[in-house]
């Protein structure tokens, strides 16, 4: 009853519940107080927990209904629905089944509300959708007949636990020495590839690395869907666009990489390379534009193999004879991160690429790797000495070789 009254007041006043939350909260409080007054007169049943009713009504009209408490819970990292009555969450890297049960109609209404601010659509002709929620969380939905029966919904929450390399040190994801080295590498303009499996912390690490970019540099980011939240002054972010109802108007990541080069960037950051856009990124880096990107891989060496393979998807005229020396000439470091069985995320490897290619293999050497569970300097390698020296850094001192 209170929810219906609030919805009617919102409609009459022309409020946008997702944007004008303060006004909606005032309406909810007034409606609950009015209901309490009527309950004292015996006109309606009394409310047992008025505060809980206020939260529930507000979540229903201005939030995402039954899922809002999970979205507000800082311990929850991800939420997914396999069916309306099969709602799971991930806490500290471990999944658990909640006691929350929705209806098919509620799931559809929630997804429609989530997509409202993104401008993206979901229908039989486009049964998948990727979108960003207002708080930066990432939404992915798949519907039948792609799924067997129910809508599949994933919400990967945007949780800001680290925005600088120093924060990763505090969390135990990085050692102080490795943090100093990576910070100097970014400042010196080294091209860095961040690798890892799903949920390994690649985006967080990319954000933290980017915090070391100079304050006067202009950064252009390109992503499938907005996820990066860079703590910088001069940033332009672009995301891909889905085709319209006629199947036209799609903007792929490859097009965004090309457009980014026309925007006077000092740095280019590609949220994640998956396909042929890797070729355009390599060409940009090979032209002297510093940049960073992430890629799915099981190790730093696997990431090198992958970044040498993905450009071949760009066309039959692209071959390994072109790609391998291009990767060798422009990618300086691969930073690999992983998620432990306990849910903890940490950097496990820092690999340096050389400039030589022999027998189809790029020369490489490990800079940091795990020893007895701790990230340690791996050897006497001095990566990209010319770039470090040009920026005023002594790479030997950073690695403790003198």
Residue 160: the pLDDT is: 67
Whole-number Å distance between alpha carbons of 301 and 282: 18
Q: Is the same domain home to 46 and 74? A: no
Give yes or no: residues 56 and 73 share one domain: no
User: In this predicted structure, what is the pLDDT of residue 180?
Assistant: 97
Same domain, 208 and 76: no
224 and 246 belong to one structural domain: yes
Spatial contact of 235 and 166, defined as CB atoms under 8 Å apart: no
Residues 212 and 297 in one domain: yes
Overall domain count for the chain: 3
| CATH code assigned at 329 | 3.40.50.300
Global pTM reads: 0.85
Return the CATH number at 86.
3.30.450.370
357 and 228 in one domain?
A: yes
Residues 186 and 307 reside in one and the same domain: yes
- Token couple for 112: 């429609």
258 with 276, same domain: the answer is yes
Q: 324 with 309: CB under 8 angstroms? A: no
User: Do residues 95 and 235 both lie within one domain?
Assistant: no
63, 79, 111 — which closes off a domain?
63
Burial environment of residue 386 by CB neighbours within 10 A (0 to 12, 13 to 18, 19 or more): exposed
Q: Which residue has the tokens 């799903």?
A: 198
Q: Check residue 264 and give left, alpha or beta (phi > 0: left; psi -120 to 50: alpha).
A: left
Domain holding 16, by residue range, is: 2-63
Q: Based on the domain organization, do 149 and 292 belong to the same domain?
A: no
Q: Are 191 and 214 in contact (CB under 8 A)?
A: no
Please choose, from the candidates 30, 33, 39, 35, the residue with its C-alpha nearest in 3D space to the C-alpha of residue 9: 30
At residue 222, the pLDDT reads 97
Phi, psi torsion values for 132, nearest 5 degrees: -105, 135
Tell me, what's the pLDDT at 348?
96
End-to-end, the C-alpha distance of the chain in Å comes to: 74
Q: What pLDDT is stored for residue 94 in this prediction?
A: 82
Provide the H-helix boundaries in 144-294: 165-171, 176-187, 202-210, 253-260, 277-286
**307 and 256 both lie in a single domain:** yes
Q: What was the pLDDT predicted at 402?
A: 64
Domain boundary among 10, 35, 63: 63
**Which of 156, 189, 210 is where one domain is finished?**
156
For the chain, percent helix, then strand, then coil, each to nearest 5? 35, 25, 40
Same domain, 256 and 210: yes
Chunked in runs of 10, what are the mean pLDDT values of the chain (402 residues)? 78 80 83 80 77 83 87 91 95 88 93 84 84 87 93 87 91 95 97 94 94 95 92 92 81 94 96 93 92 97 96 91 94 95 89 93 95 89 92 93 71
């Amino acid at each position: 009853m209170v929810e219906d009254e609030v919805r009617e007041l919102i409609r009459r006043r022309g409020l946008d519940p997702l944007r004008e939350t303060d006004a909606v909260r005032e309406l909810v409080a007034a409606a609950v107080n009015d209901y309490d007054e009527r309950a004292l007169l015996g006109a309606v049943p009394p409310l047992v927990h008025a505060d809980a009713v206020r939260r529930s009504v507000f979540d229903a009209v201005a939030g995402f209904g039954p899922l809002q408490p999970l979205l507000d819970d800082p311990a929850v990292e991800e939420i997914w629905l396999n069916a309306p009555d099969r709602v799971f969450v991930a806490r500290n890297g471990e999944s658990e089944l909640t006691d929350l049960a929705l209806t098919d109609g509620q799931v559809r209404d929630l997804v429609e509300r989530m997509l409202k601010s993104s401008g993206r659509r979901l229908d039989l002709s486009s049964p998948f959708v990727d979108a960003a929620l207002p708080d930066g969380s990432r939404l992915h939905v798949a519907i039948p007949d792609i799924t067997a029966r129910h809508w599949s919904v994933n919400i990967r929450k945007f949780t800001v636990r680290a925005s600088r390399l120093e924060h990763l040190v505090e969390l135990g994801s990085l050692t102080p020495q490795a943090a100093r080295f990576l910070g100097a590498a970014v400042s010196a303009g080294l091209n860095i590839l961040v690798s890892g499996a799903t949920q390994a912390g690649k985006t967080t690490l990319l954000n933290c690395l980017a915090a070391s970019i100079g304050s006067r540099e202009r950064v252009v980011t390109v992503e499938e869907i907005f996820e990066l939240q860079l703590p910088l002054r001069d940033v332009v972010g672009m995301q891909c666009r889905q085709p319209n109802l006629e199947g036209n108007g799609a903007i792929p990541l490859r097009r965004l990489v090309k457009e980014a080069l026309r925007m006077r960037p000092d740095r280019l950051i590609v949220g994640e390379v998956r396909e042929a856009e890797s070729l355009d990124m390599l060409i940009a880096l090979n032209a002297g534009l510093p940049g960073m990107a992430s890629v799915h891989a099981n190790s730093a060496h696997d990431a090198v193999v992958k970044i040498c393979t993905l450009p071949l998807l760009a066309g039959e005229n692209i071959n390994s004879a072109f790609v391998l020396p291009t990767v060798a000439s422009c990618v300086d470091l691969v930073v690999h991160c992983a998620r432990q069985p306990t849910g903890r995320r940490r950097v496990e490897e820092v690999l340096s690429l050389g400039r030589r290619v022999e027998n189809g293999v790029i020369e490489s050497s490990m800079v940091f790797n795990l020893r007895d569970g701790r990230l340690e300097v791996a050897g006497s390698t001095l990566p990209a000495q010319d770039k470090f020296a040009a920026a005023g850094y002594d790479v030997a001192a950073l690695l403790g070789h003198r």
